[in-house]
Amino acid sequence: KAGVTQTPRYLIKTRGQQVTLSCSPISGHRSVSWYQQTPGQGLQFLFEYFSETQRNKGNFPGRFSGRQFSNSRSEMNVSTLELGDSALYLCASSVPDENTGELFFGEGSRLTVL
């Protein structure tokens, strides 16, 4: 069974640009969550999607957005990039409503903003 796949793995952008990151969850997993991780910080929750609906959203500005497609694949977009957006963006999938507290993470997309 393939794991969570995130693309691209690495990318460099400049301030003001926008970026789109992609996530393919484990087959059968319909919940996808996104997290931002910066050095010395924990994982900051961005949003969670299930059946193409955003069920929860973290405390990030509106520049951060996401969506989920009918095949459960998800994308997140960051517009008007700022230096502080440089981070590892992690996607995780899970089987919803099982309350096992288990997320399956991808390797992440490392974004550098210059």
Which residues are near other proteins by CB under 8 A? Answer: 31, 33, 35, 40-45, 48, 50, 55-56, 58, 90, 99-108
Nearer to other proteins, 9 or 15 (CB): 9
Q: Which residues contact 53 (CB under 8 A, 6 or more apart)?
A: 68
Please report how close the Cβ of residue 14 comes to other proteins at its closest, in angstroms: 25
Please report how close the Cβ of residue 80 comes to other proteins at its closest, in angstroms: 25
**For residue 94, with 0-12 CB atoms within 10 Å meaning exposed, 13-18 middle and 19 or more buried, which class applies?**
buried
SS3 48: strand
Please report how close the Cβ of residue 17 comes to other proteins at its closest, in angstroms: 25
